């Protein structure tokens, strides 16, 4: 009998989940949960690396993100949704891993380098932030993950996780820790509605799963298109036009999108028509999510978190017990 592969993933509760999460990893989680032993972490401890002085911003979003998960189709009978801070074994494993990674290796991590530049932290890098890849390695390996659904920007984190796994197994002459692989959604990274490279809750340039119809319409109407396409008859650029990028993803009739692109480039097609079409597409995705969200009670959300965290901790305790044994901490 084949064992189910373990799927581990998660999100920080520092903001709302958005369409970038939906096409990037949430759809994969929903599709794979029936065939994989699935754990979905709400990374409240990791969120403190950015919001250590405002923890209430994190705690109030824990339940909201859980509602998002359940609304998109995560089934608590198939997937374990759990809270990172309630699994103390992760913190202990992080400490062990810190002895396996140099500061210079952490500073070379491309994901960390990018975030440091974005946050202007070059002269004030916090230890907790710098050690984020080590903590994430513990998140993944404490549950024996085989697969991690994630975005392309997280490839360096998975690479560093596997480096730690190999070094640990070599030093302690064991094979108890497993390497993992990334699973990226077919659309990869979704750009921000303002034309920025990445849709992000922290940048405020994303359409949230919990946005109402009015908010969605407002965001789409403010989407970045072609700044030189001032009149309907002007020839427009498709490259870098966020509306077309989103239509490529969310509009089912790809031949129609191709025809619209040709028309736009020749002139005679206005941005309003394109945005109206995209609004209908986005609403068709978000309407059932909103409806499901409204049916969820606070008790249901709490029960899901308690059960998922209990299941995740049992597995984490088992893995940490094995780690302690190979190190020699079996007093």
Q: Is 312 exposed, middle or buried (0-12, 13-18, 19+ CB in 10 A)?
A: buried
pLDDT in tens, 113-151: 887 777 777 778 888 888 989 999 999 999 999 999 887
Question: Is it the case that residue 241 has pLDDT exceeding 80?
Answer: yes
Q: Model-level pTM greater than 0.85?
A: yes
Q: What is the mean pLDDT of the chain?
A: 92
* CATH superfamily of the domain spanning 213-292: Tyrosyl-Transfer RNA Synthetase (1.10.240.10)
The domain segmentation of the chain, as residue ranges, is 6-190+299-327, 213-292
Judge if 6-190+299-327 and 213-292 fold alike in CATH terms: no
Bridge partners for 148 per DSSP: 182
Does the structural domain 6-190+299-327 have CATH classification 3.30.70.890? no
Bridge partners for 81 per DSSP: 40
pLDDT range class, residue 246, cuts 50, 70, 90: very high
């Amino acid at each position: 009998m084949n064992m189910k592969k373990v799927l581990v993933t998660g999100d920080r509760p520092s903001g709302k989940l958005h369409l970038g999460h939906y096409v990037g990893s949430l759809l994969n989680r929903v599709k794979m949960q029936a065939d994989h032993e699935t754990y979905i972490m709400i990374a409240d401890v990791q969120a403190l690396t950015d919001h250590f002085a405002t923890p209430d911003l994190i705690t109030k979003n824990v339940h909201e993100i859980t509602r998002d998960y359940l609304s998109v189709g995560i089934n608590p009978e198939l997937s374990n949704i759990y809270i990172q801070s309630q699994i103390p074994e992760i913190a202990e494993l992080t400490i062990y891993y810190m002895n396996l990674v140099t500061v210079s290796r952490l500073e070379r991590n491309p994901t960390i380098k990018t975030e440091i530049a974005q946050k202007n932290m070059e002269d004030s890098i916090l230890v907790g932030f710098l050690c984020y890849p080590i903590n994430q390695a513990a998140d993944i390996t404490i549950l024996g993950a085989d697969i991690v659904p994630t975005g392309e920007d997280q490839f360096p984190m998975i690479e560093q996780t596997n480096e730690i796994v190999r070094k640990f197994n070599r030093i302690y002459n064991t094979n108890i820790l497993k390497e993992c692989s990334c699973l990226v959604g077919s659309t990869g990274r979704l750009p921000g509605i303002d034309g920025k490279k990445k849709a992000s809750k922290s940048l405020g340039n994303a359409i949230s799963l919990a946005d109402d119809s009015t908010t969605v319409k407002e965001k789409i109407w403010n989407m970045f298109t072609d700044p030189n396409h001032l009149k309907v008859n002007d020839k427009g650029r498709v490259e870098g036009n966020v509306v077309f990028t989103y239509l490529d993803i969310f509009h089912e009739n790809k031949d129609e999108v191709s025809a619209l692109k040709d028309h736009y480039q020749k002139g005679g097609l206005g941005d309003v028509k394109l945005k109206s079409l995209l609004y209908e597409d986005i609403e068709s995705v978000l309407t059932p999510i909103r409806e499901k969200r409204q049916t969820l009670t606070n008790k249901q959300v709490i029960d899901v978190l308690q059960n998922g965290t209990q299941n995740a901790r049992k597995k984490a305790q088992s893995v940490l017990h094995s780690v302690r044994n190979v190190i020699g901490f079996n007093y």
